[in-house]
Every structure is written in C-alpha cells, then in structure tokens.
Copies of this chain bind each other. A is one copy, B any other.
Amino acid sequence: MFNFIEPVEKLIEQFRRLPGVGYKSAVRMAFAVVDMDKEKAESFATAILDAKEKITVCSICKNISDSDICPICASESRNKSVICVVEDVKDILAIEKAQEFRGVYHVLGGLISPTDGVGPEKLNIKELLARINEEVKEIIVATTPSVEGEATALYLSRLIKPLGVSVSRLAYGIPAGAELEYADEMTITRALEGRLTL
C-alpha cells in the first residue's frame, strides 16, 4: 500500500473518523486542506476547537447550547406547557426542521436498555420530572419505535401520568411520500393499528 508523508496520513486518518467518509473521500479532503491557504486552515482548526470549548449543555432541557439556557428554552414565543422528550440532540433538529412543534424539549441522552446496562438512572429523567410543574400540560414522548424506545416511553408514561400530566407519543405509520410496497412489516402493522376513520 502506498503511504503519504506523515502529516497527510494523519489528516486522512482524522477525516476517516467522520461519519460517511471513506478512504478516497478522506484523501481528497486531506489534499483540500493541504491546498488551503494558511488562514483558512487555521479557521477550520479553530472551528473544531470552538465546537468543543464554546458548546455547553442547556441547564433546562440538556440540548446543546452556547449559553447556559438554549435558544429554544430562552424563547418567549415557545409554549412551555408542552415538553417533547427526545433521545438525542439530533432529534430536536429533525423536529425543528418540520416547523410544526412550538413547545419545548427535553433530551434524555439515551434510551432505557437493560442489555446495554442503561437503566433509567443514567438518563436525564429526574431532570425531566423536576421540570413538571403546574404550567406543564402535556409530555410528548418522541422516542424511536424500537424496543428500547417503546420501553422508555412506557416507563415515562407510568411515571408522569400519576402527576396529572397528559402523556402522548408520535404517530407511527407509513412515511410521507413512501411507496406502500416498500414499507416493512412492522411499519404496516403500526399503520394498521393507528388507522383513522375517514
């Protein structure tokens, strides 16, 4: 196998660690950096370091933030009576892009998974319970429809319902624009179970 000079090899190795980057892409990226002028390379390196140094976790909802309280929790226009519970920060982005939900979020930081040794105490569940006050009317559990996602949703609903707060989950079914013939059995089962009267 052909070896590049050491600084290039190291850079290729770094790019390969990124999601979706294979060897050939990493080589092209490394050479793009070699071809950059010094200032551009420096601002790239600074952006990486800043992502670690300037990003913190929102003290309310555990979303990533560049201040103590994230822009969503700090916003006056968001409805604080509805909290959407998600597994991960990336799930917030997916929901925000739809521009449909105007409530606030709570990031669990994982799902309950006894086989992986993740019990409820490892997730941000007590922080969620601490947020439930008279203002909160509904908790939407937006975990994925996997075994762990379902178990987590069930656990949360058992914990929260007795507090007099409504608990809901996202609808499961055929995704918009998808062909029925390509839908898997589980999705079709869910879509049948959740059928609506016309």
Contact B55–A51 (Cβ < 8 Å): no
Contact B44–A7 (Cβ < 8 Å): no
**Nearest CB of chain B from residue A152's CB, rounded to whole Å:** 20
Bound-complex Cα distance A65 to B6 (A): 9
* Given A64-B5, A65-B5, residue A19 in contact with residue B28 (CB < 8 A): yes
**Nearest CB of chain B from residue A67's CB, rounded to whole Å:** 9
Please choose the segment from A31-39, A112-120, A138-146, A181-189 that sits at the chain B interface, where 4 or more of its residues have CB less than 8 A away. A31-39
Query: From A43, which residue of chain B is reached at the shortest CB distance?
Result: B14
Bound-complex Cα distance A46 to B33 (A): 12
Q: Is A123 located at the chain interface by the 8 A CB criterion? A: no
Query: From A13, which residue of chain B is reached at the shortest CB distance?
Result: B47
Contact B2–A47 (Cβ < 8 Å): no
Chain B residues within an 8 Å CB radius of A36: 52
Contact B29–A25 (Cβ < 8 Å): no
Contact B18–A32 (Cβ < 8 Å): yes
- Supply 10 further A-B pairs (C-beta < 8 A) apart from A7-B54, A38-B52: A5-B65, A5-B66, A7-B47, A11-B50, A13-B47, A34-B52, A34-B89, A41-B52, A42-B49, A44-B48
